[in-house]
Amino acid sequence: MKKLFLLAGVLVSLAAAHVVFGQTTGVINYEVKINMHRNIPKERESMKTMIPEFRTMKQQLFYNESESLYKTVIEDEEENITAGGAGGMRMTFRMPNSELYLDQNKGITLSKQEVMGKNYLIEDSVRMSPWKFGTQTKTIANYECNMAYYTQTDTIRIGDREPQVRTQEITAWFTNKIRPFLGPERFNTLPGAVLAIDINNGERVIVAKSIEVRELKKNELKAPATGTKVTQAEFRKIMDEQMKQMGGGRQMIIRN
C-alpha cells in the first residue's frame, strides 16, 4: 500500500512538472539493435554461421501530455536473411506485432502481444525501477542527456532444469527537455524522456534517431483495443500452454 501511495505521489508530481519540462506532444523515432550471437551457448557455437550477429528494427513512441504509445514500425511483413554464404540456410524473421500504451494519470499500462496469430491485451500497473543517477552526460538526437542505471536480477527456469540467475546491467540516457515518464518499452519511469537504453554493454541497444515535436494526428496515439483481455498471470499460462504444444520447455523469468 505504501508503494501505491508513493507511485501516485510521483505521478502527480511529474504531471505537475510538465510546465517545467516543456515539450509535451510529439514522436520519438528509435532504432533497436540486438546482438543475436551474445546468448548462444558454447555448445551451440555452430549456430553463429546460420544467424546474423546483429538485427535492427525501428520503433516509434507517440506521446501527449499524459499518454504514450510505443510500437514497432512494420516496414516489411517478413525479414529474410540468408546466412552461411552461398547456398546457406535461409532464415525468416517476422516482426513482432506489439504495442505498449501508458496512461500516466491512471498509472497503468496496456500491452498488446501477438501469440500464434492471436492478439492479447495485458493490463498492468506502472512499476518503478530502482534507478540510480550518474554524473555523465551525452548528446543524443541533439538533446543533452543525463545518465541513470540499475542492475536487474532475474531467476530463469526452463522446464525441469535447475533455475539460473541472470543479471542485466541497464543504462539509460534521458533528457529533461521533453516531458517525464517517457521511454521505450518499460523504461519509462525517469524524470525526463529516455532517449537511449543499453543492456549489458551492447547486448541490446535502443537509441533515438530523430524527434518530431508536433501535434499528433488523429489516431496516432490510442490505446490498443483489439485482442483478448487477460491478466499477466493468465498470459503466462497461455504462453506455458503454447510452449507445451510446441514440445519445448517453458522459460519462466521470475523478477527478484
- Taking only the tens place, the pLDDT of each residue in 7-37 is 444 444 444 444 445 578 999 999 999 988 8
pTM of the model: 0.80
Residues 6+ apart with CB under 8 A from 222: 69, 101
Please state, in angstroms and rounded to a whole number, the distance separating the CA atoms of residues 206 and 32.
Answer: 4
DSSP state of 162: P
Alpha helices in the chain (DSSP H): 2-16, 18-21, 232-245
Please state, in angstroms and rounded to a whole number, the distance separating the CA atoms of residues 186 and 189.
Answer: 8
Output 94-100 pairs: Cβ under 8 A, ≥24 positions apart: 95/57, 96/72, 97/72, 98/71, 98/72, 99/69, 99/70, 99/71, 99/72, 99/224, 100/69, 100/70, 100/71, 100/185, 100/186
Report residue 237: phi and psi, to 5°: -65, -40
Least confident segment among 39-53, 69-83, 91-105 = 69-83
Q: How many CB atoms lie within 10 A of CB 206?
A: 22
Please state, in angstroms and rounded to a whole number, the distance separating the CA atoms of residues 36 and 203.
Answer: 8
Least confident segment among 14-18, 41-45, 218-222 = 14-18
> What residues make up the domain containing 63?
2-255
233: helix, strand or coil: helix
Count of domains for the chain:
1
| pLDDT(224) > 60 | yes
pLDDT value at residue 118: 87
Q: What is the pLDDT of residues 63-93, one digit of tens each?
A: 999 999 999 987 654 444 444 444 555 555 5
